Amino acid sequence: MSKIQEKRIAIVGAGLCGLACADKLKQYGLSPIVFEKSRDVGGRLATRKLKDGSEFDHGTQYIVSKGTEFQSYIENAIKTQNAAEWLFNSDQRDLKTFTRSVVGFPRMSAFVKPLTTNIEVRLNTYVEYIEQLDGAWSLTLGGDGLRELVDIVMLAVPAPQVLRLIKSSSQLNKQLSTVSMDPCLTLIVGFGGTAFPKFETYKSEIGDIAWMARNNVKPGRNQGLDCWVVHANREWSTKYIDINHDEITKLLLRRFAEFSHEKIPEIHYISAHKWRYAVTKISLGQPFIKTSNNSLFIGGDWCLGSCAENAYESGLAAASAILESLN
């Protein structure tokens, strides 16, 4: 094993950015460890599954690409059946116009699964904070307070969470202060009958509802309940981010029901979710941040924008910078 391969690397966050970084490092013989506080990988590429099999993609709704590198990843994910094409119409004024997109198959998190091959991912592991200790980085893990010592850290988390992880850094604080992120409040509701039989998706730049979709129409989804996901817009979400989940559920259900001229069917399941850092309002304007000694790297979709492709690009760019610093 070379000295480069002996380097201990930790990646905090198993979303698309963190896993893209880990996968590229693995290709060059490194063995990064990915720490993820949730019970599954994917970040906002998330699906909530009920006991009866009903599913709700309550985070990212679909994936599109502009660049060739991300498009290549998408095409490979389709070949390995980790993704599938989804055509949808979201403009009720023009029912002949469709958006071509991709979704994880059979659920959103499957889209990132190819990036986890031969990668050590520690799920349900919360990193409380990181600090430099004797020339290394110490990660303090939640719950039992155990520590992990590594040489290099990549933080693939929302910008506002970075300064919670790092005890103090005026340099990073200055860079991160330029980034602004908005929340998204989400309604998840399953009906015993069919709601809104005349359309399956809705997207708008005006009004309190930015997006709503029947989840069942996506490829590979369970056909149990009539499952709907509703996303409030940025302004509405910002206004109500601090109210409790029950109140969010009531308010968004009321908005949802306004789209129907008929009584909505019996509700079998209903819940709300807060994506506190969902949409980038002001991006960093560069693919990642790093410290002058090349031991700490920070990335995410917020570096370049708000979409999955931005997260992927950030992760790859950070991995390239890590590899360059080791040569």
Digit-coded pLDDT (tens) for 239-297: 999 999 999 999 999 999 988 777 889 999 999 999 999 999 999 999 999 999 999 99
Residues 310-325 have a mean pLDDT of: 98
Last residue of a domain, one of 241, 259, 280: 280
Q: Assess whether 173 and 159 both reside in one domain.
A: yes
How many domains is the chain partitioned into structurally? Answer: 2
Q: Assess whether 264 and 302 both reside in one domain.
A: no
Q: Assess whether 201 and 324 both reside in one domain.
A: no
Q: Assess whether 203 and 172 both reside in one domain.
A: no
Residue numbers of the domain that contains 222:
180-280
Q: Assess whether 115 and 162 both reside in one domain.
A: yes
Helix residue ranges, H only, the chain: 16-27, 68-79, 159-165, 170-176, 234-240, 245-257, 308-326
pLDDT at 200: 87
- State the Cα–Cα distance between residues 155 and 170, nearest whole angstrom: 17
Beta bridge partners of 275: 184
**CA dihedral in degrees (88, 91, 93, 97; nearest 10)?**
-40
With a cut of 90, say whether residue 73 has pLDDT above it: yes
Q: Assess whether 266 and 166 both reside in one domain.
A: no
pLDDT per position as a tens digit, 108-158: 999 999 999 999 999 999 999 999 988 899 999 987 778 999 999 999 999
79 burial class (0-12, 13-18, 19+ CB within 10 angstroms)?
Answer: exposed
pLDDT at 134: 86
Determine the residue type at 150: V
Residues 221-231 have a mean pLDDT of: 93
pLDDT at 144: 75
- State the Cα–Cα distance between residues 7 and 127, nearest whole angstrom: 20
pLDDT at 3: 63
Q: Assess whether 197 and 209 both reside in one domain.
A: yes
Q: Assess whether 186 and 322 both reside in one domain.
A: no
Q: Assess whether 185 and 235 both reside in one domain.
A: yes
Q: Assess whether 201 and 266 both reside in one domain.
A: yes
With a cut of 80, say whether residue 21 has pLDDT above it: yes
When mean pLDDT is compared across 14-18, 203-207, 248-252, the lowest value belongs to 203-207
125: which DSSP letter? -
